[in-house]
Amino acid sequence: MESMRNQMTQIRKTLIEHNDADLVMGDVIDVESQITEFESELLNDDSALAKTLKQKHAKLLLTIQNIRVALAENKLQMAAYLSPSSPTSPTSAGSEFDRIRVIVKNNLENFYARLISPPTYMIDAENETEEPERIHGLTCNDDHVAEITERYDKIESELISFERTLWVEFWLKGDPAKKSRDEEVVKLIDGLEKKFAEIKNFMEVRKKDLVTIKEGREFAKGINSIRDQLDIVKGEMRRDDTTTDASLQELDTHMADASELTKSLKTTYSHLLSPESEDKRYKECFDEIVNQYKLVRSWIEEVRVWFREAVRIRGWMRERVDILLNVPKVDPFQEDEAPVTQEQVDEWRKEYEELEREVEKFDSEDVTRLRAHVKGIVGTGNETTTTDMSPADTMTIGITFETLKILDQLLGKLKDREYELDLLSLRVQWEREYDGRLQSLLKKERMVGLLIRINFLNMMSLPNHIRSIKS
């Protein structure tokens, strides 16, 4: 009998692996024949051993007959889970059927209650009257996805276990109950079978819901990645030191990343963004982030226009600063003679005045336009606050201030040059007047010396007695 039992185990294993009745039907008939013939070899006395062997033989025979019946009715799953240790007979009915029917009914009601509603967020215990909100890929987080994945995986596992155990047992007891009991039982069994089919359908629907939620969550992550890049750009634009060409290039890099993410998102989730899609929230969310991208891009282009103008203005002013830094270095306080001539000072003064006129003209035209633009952004009094300004406004003001710093440097160098020329003019004037005074003194000195000499010669020409008198 152990050999026959092993053959039956192999038959069940083959059915589970291949789900093909033709592969095992011959073996089933052969084993049934062996078990039937073996009955003649059983003991016929009333000993305990004889009774035990008869019981085991009856179980083997009942099981192989049930398997053959199940295969004939194409109930392969039922046949695969019948075993000599649990030879539930399709001919049993009565109270045992009622017991298993109640258990199955309770299980089905439990599955139904857990699957009838779409996945929703947990409701706060303090707000029990609040309507549960359906989980959506755009509003959930990774914890929500993990929670509902675990939830439905558990339900599906329980459902599979139920189908392979209780449902098979109910199935086996259901067929004979239909034949031996009234029409009401038939309706009960049919109702439970329909309920189970409905639950399995709900399980598939919820699995599709889960796939949709997971897909929506990945879409939301893509949206968040684009938003992160745009937030970085807006944050950089509001910083005081984002006023150089390198800063603009860094902003362009982030915008390029945002653009690539947007294109990838549009391609990957085109079915969610299609006009035919029932859920319009994805399209609305995508359109919103695209509009944000366009707005930030327009800010950068606005800044770029002013930055180009500022670069031109800075370049012009730096050229003049370099001119003033490279003028000849002359010490107006050096000893001996004057370091330069009046003609050189006059030439430098002419160059300075020409440069001063250029700067004044430039300040009144180009730089005034920059100041007016900033004043238009900031406003007067309480008209505008920092929070009212866009990142483009903030960055434009920063660029303008950096430009005005160079203007202050240029004006400072002009004042320094004017002071130097004034000192040189004074030194040349002093030297000139000094030379004049010195020449005048020398002339008087010569005249006094000449008079003394003439007087001396006159005295020497007089007689001695007269000369002594004069002396």
Q: What's residue 74's pLDDT?
A: 64
Please indicate, yes or no, whether the overall pTM of this predicted structure exceeds 0.85: no
Q: What's residue 290's pLDDT?
A: 96
Q: What's residue 294's pLDDT?
A: 94
- Of these ranges, 111-120, 330-339, 375-384, the one predicted with the greatest mean pLDDT is 111-120
| pLDDT tens digit sequence for 187-246 | 888 889 899 999 999 999 999 999 999 999 999 999 999 999 999 998 888 876 666 778
Comparing 38-42, 221-225, 233-237, 451-455, the range with the smallest average pLDDT is 38-42
Cα distance between residue 139 and residue 220, in whole Å: 8
Cα distance between residue 404 and residue 409, in whole Å: 9
- Tell me: pLDDT of 89 over 60: no
Which pair of structure tokens corresponds to residue 64? 């192989």
Regarding predicted confidence, which is higher, 471 or 294? 294
pLDDT band at 309 (very low <50, low <70, confident <90, very high): confident
CATH for 95-124+132-225 is 1.20.58
Cα distance between residue 185 and residue 192, in whole Å: 11
Q: What's residue 207's pLDDT?
A: 95
| pLDDT tens digit sequence for 243-278 | 677 888 888 999 999 999 999 999 999 999 999 988
Q: What's residue 92's pLDDT?
A: 42
pLDDT band at 455 (very low <50, low <70, confident <90, very high): confident
Specify the long-range contacts of residues 321-327, CB closer than 8 Å, at least 24 apart. 321/406, 321/409, 321/410, 321/413, 323/355, 324/355, 324/410, 324/413, 324/414, 324/416, 324/417, 325/413, 327/417, 327/420
| Residue range 75-87: mean pLDDT, rounded | 56
| Portion of the chain with pLDDT greater than 70, in percent | 85
| pLDDT tens digit sequence for 138-197 | 999 999 999 999 999 999 999 999 988 888 888 877 766 666 656 777 788 888 989 999
Q: What's residue 165's pLDDT?
A: 86
The single-letter code of the amino acid at 229 is Q
Which residues make beta-bridge pairs with 83? Answer: 86
Regarding predicted confidence, which is higher, 394 or 191? 191
Comparing 52-66, 180-194, 296-310, 331-345, the range with the smallest average pLDDT is 52-66
* Average pLDDT score, the chain: 82
Q: Which residue has the tokens 């000192």?
A: 423
